Each structure stands twice: as structure tokens, then as C-alpha cells.
A = this chain, B = another copy of it.
Amino acid sequence: MKKFQVVGIGNAMVDVIAHASEDSLAALGIQKGIMQLIDMARAVQLYAHVGPAEEVSGGSAANTIAGVAKLGGRTAYVGKVKDDQLGQIFAHDLRAQGAVYETPFAPKTAEQETGRCIILVTPDGERSMNTYLGVTEFLSPSDIDVDQIAQADWIYLEGYRFDGPESHEAFAKAIAACKAAGGRVSLTLSDPFCVERHRDAFRKMIREDVDLLFANRAEIMSMYQCDFAEAMRAAAAEVAIVAATESEQGAHVLWDGHHAHVPAIPTQIVDATGAGDLFAGAFLWGLTEGYDLEACTRMGNIAASEIISHIGARPEADLRALFRRHGAL
């Protein structure tokens, strides 16, 4: 048995969550529902214009790993923070959830700070994310511990992490270390605009290295530049397992010529942040615990429904108890 079921690599971020009206999004020039990269100056400007906020640890892959840990899975995370107050908060929350996080803190003297994501939640529960990457942008191959990666059944790569100068090399190093030790590679496409920015690189990685692809409807359509059904088929032709989420329509899993659709759990949406992240966390936990792919997809849907029922992208309820209540365990 390997030491880790899943090791995630991604953007380490603290979320700054504030409520906002549709009008205020427009006034701030924010496109609703997507992730936008911003610099420090814009982060300061935006923050000055948003209402009272709460700060909770976030980061897409980190949310996924928090989900695996919450389920009792053996899991670790790789992502860069600074040794500042937000960095300490990020590290604490991941470790307190039971994940291994041996971050090499960027020093207090680093010019950039710990990354943060200013999330504006509109009354419909949709979130518009404004990401200042900070030090997390500089995750480099030297931050990848090949011994740790070799101990993973699966690695989980966050598409967002492609937005950085040395990220491709870091991912390549992790993939090589993982495969050499008999592990498998999963990737999330993260965001349709992220796909736009890195389509060719993602495509190459998908074809050559990825064993399990996570994407939502908009992302997979952006990837293959066609409609949803066709995009899922195209992906399934290139990857062993495709898990495609479709919000309130549930999720699809495609493997080995099969295609199953699993309905969503009806839920009152408070804040959609983290739904895809927790879907992936629950799916990967189920997979590494030996459940079949439809069961994994059901677990993903249940976990996603928990996350969207409250503010914040880390699970609050006992996910195993929820799985049992829904007959998935």
C-alpha cells in the first residue's frame, strides 16, 4: 500500500469571500462566474470596494485534498505560500484537516505575498473569482519532492497552476515521478478561460499522460471546441476515465466505451465555490477505496451538494455520514 491515495498540486490560496450585487460586479468590471487573474494593485483596488468579508483557506486542488482528508483518505498537498499570516492560516487549515503539507514557505522577505482569491458571491449563489496568485505562481520543479510523488496512487493536477512561469516543468517532473512509480495522473481543467490560455499544452498532457480527466461542461467544451456530448466523446477517446460535471444536471462518467449519467443531489445553492473541487475529492477518494466509477460519481455529487449549501469551499459536514444517508456507502 502506498503512503498516499492522492497527492494534489495546485495554487495555494486564501479565499476572501464577500457578498455582492449584480450591479456592483458590473461597476467593478467583473465578468460573472469565472476566475480572473489580477495583480496586487487590482487586488488592493477591488478589496477597497467590496463589503465585509470572511477569510477561509481555499485553492482548488487544496479544497480537493481537504475533501479527501475529511473522508479519512491518506493525502498530501503541494503548493506555495509565504511565511506570512495568510500563509500560516492556509497551512494550518490543511494540516488540521489531516492532510500532509510540507510546504517550503517562501521567506518573509519575498516580494509577493501568499495568494488570495477575492470571491464575490451574488444572490444567486454564483461566484466570481479574482485571483492574486502571489508566491504560489512561482511553484517550480525544485518544489516537487519526487520521493513524495512516488508514494502516491494518484496525483491530482490543478489546471490553474499552468498560469506560472515554471509550472509546466513542475508538472512534467511530478508526472514523470508518479508514472515511474506506477502511479496514475488526474487533471482538472479548472476554468474555460484557463483552457483558452493553455489549450495546446493541456491537450498534449491529456493525450500523453492523463488517466483521469475532471472538467465541467464549459471547460470540456472549451477544450475540444465543440458541443458538450461531442466533447465528452472526444475526451473519452483520449483518456481512460472522464468525469464531466454539469451543475444541477449532475455528472457524467465515461470509461472504456461506457457512459453513465448520475443525477445531482437537489440542494439550495448558497455559494457554488468549491463544488467541482469537492466532486473531484470525493471521486478520487472513492476510486482509491475501490468503489466503481458510478459510485465514485455519486459520491462526487453528494460532496458537491454539501459544499454549495454553505459559504466556503471546504467541507463542514461529515461527508461519510452524508454518503451513508444517500446510500453511497
Contact = CB atoms under 8 A, between A and B. Distances in A.
A56 B312 CA distance: 13
Contact of A48 (B84, B92, B312): B92
Nearest to A312: B54
Interface string A22-52: 0000000000000000000000000110111
Contacts of A47: 92
A55 interface: yes
Interface string A82-93: 001110010011
A53 B56 CA distance: 7
Nearest to A89: B55
B84 A53 contact: no
A314 B52 contact: yes
Contacts of A93: 52-53
A166 B57 CA distance: 36
A89 B54 CA distance: 9
A323 B113 CA distance: 42
A247 interface: no
A61 interface: no
Contact of A96 (B52, B85, B96, B113): B52
Interface string A281-297: 00000000000000000
A140 interface: no
A241 interface: no
A50 B93 CA distance: 9
A66 interface: yes
Nearest to A54: B56
Contacts of A54: 54-56, 312
A96 B54 CA distance: 12
Interface in A255-310: none
A96 B50 contact: yes
A296 to B, nearest CB: 24
Contacts of A50: 96
Interface of A: 18, 47-48, 50-57, 66, 84-86, 89, 92-93, 96-97, 113, 312, 314
28 contacts: A18-B96, A47-B92, A48-B92, A50-B96, A51-B96, A51-B97, A52-B57, A52-B66, A52-B92, A52-B93, A52-B96, A52-B314, A53-B89, A53-B92, A53-B93, A53-B96, A54-B54, A54-B55, A54-B56, A54-B312, A55-B55, A55-B56, A55-B89, A84-B84, A84-B85, A85-B85, A85-B86, A85-B113
Q: 6 smallest A-B Cβ distances: which pairs? A: A55-B55, A52-B93, A85-B85, A54-B56, A51-B96, A52-B96
Given A18-B96, A47-B92, A52-B96, 11 more contacts: A50-B96, A51-B96, A52-B66, A52-B92, A52-B93, A54-B55, A54-B312, A55-B55, A84-B85, A85-B86, A85-B113
